[in-house]
């Protein structure tokens, strides 16, 4: 199949378990690389530069935008978020499938730019379960939970733009499913053109 | 996900091993049903009515065409081949994924009629390997082998219309891959609309 890694966007409601899922996927398979976004927002307690995000100044972010160093960027409230191009390209060239954990705005921009990108949307088995998980975290106030559920409502309107839905019910089964969906992408006809053309040439010479 | 079975077309060069592959898939998983085509051609030695094909008269075939009892049909030389609708619909309604082993003409017609159909193309790892397999069968004359390779050349021009390529190298690995590609289709967003809308409604009521 293709030697180059594919680009995979994983989105999903806050509380759907994207983070845990992606972490487990990276731990159980070595063919993935996780893209880290750059952002102008301040790090929260416990966040480390280069781990959750690359925390950069507004000025630095603007220079990245201007020098075409981001494959997509978006603004939420007063903060910018973007995907550095350099890392993604290097990892793909090395054959790694690159995971971007970004929101729908960015997902749609990437799909437009790279139509073979796989867009995956992680859902909880039910809205009640989503609420339970947000409450169980115990880190957020009722107001924040309400805001997240409202946000989930809004995000839900964009789901149709995604290629596949992943129901995060059982973690292990879900990781296996995610891996299988991503690997299937290597068999997409558009990702096998080199092989197809080789066999075609060979056939014509037989 | 969706309760209804999906429609899967498996095509591929003669000698690529489609038949063996599909047989192994059916034997190792019980969620598949194999559609049997109707044809007006004469049965060959060893072929049984209702197994390889439903062998019907030209008249009977025409009445099926006229009563909309075929989901697609095509003519090769003087013979008609078609897919009976009744079996496919019953099996899908029962939740079985229905496999159609048909050629590109029929595949394109089905995709047009049912856009969510999965089109899979089975390829040998190389043209030389295809030739080796055709020769190894020992059932065909050099002329027939040459004709099949020529036909493979022609069919190769249509591969881009397929969704996925399956390389038939190792049978067991290939069956697992085929199964995984087909099951992924159940996660297609278009096949999960019921679930998406349920969660959306639930979210709006929280």
Domain ranges of chain A: 7-35+96-205
Strand partners, A76: A79
pLDDT per position as a tens digit, B38-96: 999 999 999 999 998 999 999 999 999 999 999 999 888 889 999 999 999 999 999 99
Q: How many CB atoms lie within 10 A of CB A48?
A: 9
Within an 8 Å CB–CB cutoff, is residue B108 touching chain A? no
Q: Do B127 and A203 touch (CB under 8 A)?
A: yes
- B-contacting residues of A 113-152, CB under 8 Å? 121, 123-124, 126-128, 130-131, 149, 152
Are residues A3 and A96 in contact, defined by beta-carbon separation less than 8 angstroms? no
Count of CB pairs separated by less than 8 Å, A with B:
112
- B-contacting residues of A 79-98, CB under 8 Å? none
Q: Do B127 and A180 touch (CB under 8 A)?
A: no
- For A44, the 3-state DSSP assignment is coil
- For A48, the 3-state DSSP assignment is coil
CA B53 to each of CA A51, A148, B83, B107: distance values in angstroms, whole numbers, following the listed order: 59, 56, 10, 17
- pLDDT digits (tens), chain A, 206 positions: 557 899 999 999 888 889 899 999 999 999 999 999 999 999 999 999 999 899 999 999 999 999 999 999 988 888 999 999 999 999 999 999 999 999 888 899 999 999 989 999 999 989 898 888 888 877 778 888 888 888 888 888 889 999 999 999 999 999 999 999 999 999 999 999 999 999 989 988 87
Q: For residue B10, what is the enclosing H or E element? A: strand B7-12
Nearest to A164, CA basis, from B42, B186, B40 = B186
Task: Specify whether domain B7-35+96-205 bears CATH 3.40.50.300.
Answer: yes
User: B46 is written with which tokens?
Assistant: 């060893």
Contacts with A162 from chain B: Cβ below 8 Å: 189
- For A189, the 3-state DSSP assignment is helix
Tell me how close the Cα of B58 comes to any Cα of chain A, in angstroms.
Answer: 35
Q: Select the residue of A187, A195, A203 nearest B181 (Cβ to Cβ).
A: A187
| Strand-strand pairing, A97-100 and B97-100 | unpaired
């Amino acid at each position: 199949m293709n030697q180059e890694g594919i680009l995979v966007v994983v989105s999903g409601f806050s509380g759907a378990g994207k983070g845990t899922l992606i972490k487990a996927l990276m731990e159980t398979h070595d063919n993935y690389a996780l893209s880290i976004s750059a952002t102008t927002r301040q790090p929260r307690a416990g966040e480390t530069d280069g781990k959750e995000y690359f925390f950069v100044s507004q000025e630095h972010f603007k220079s990245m935008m201007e020098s075409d160093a981001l494959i997509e960027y978006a603004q939420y409230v007063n903060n910018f978020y973007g995907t550095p191009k350099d890392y993604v390209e290097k990892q793909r060239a090395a054959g790694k499938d690159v995971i971007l954990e970004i929101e729908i705005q960015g997902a749609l921009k990437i799909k437009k730019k790279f139509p073979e990108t796989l867009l995956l949307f992680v859902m909880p088995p039910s809205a009640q379960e989503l609420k339970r998980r947000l409450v169980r975290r115990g880190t957020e106030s009722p107001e924040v939970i309400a805001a997240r559920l409202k946000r989930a409502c809004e995000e839900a309107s964009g789901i149709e733009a995604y290629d596949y839905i992943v129901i995060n019910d059982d973690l292990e089964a879900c990781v296996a499913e995610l891996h299988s969906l991503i690997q299937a992408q290597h068999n997409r006809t558009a990702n096998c053109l080199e092989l197809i053309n080789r066999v075609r040439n060979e056939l014509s010479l037989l």
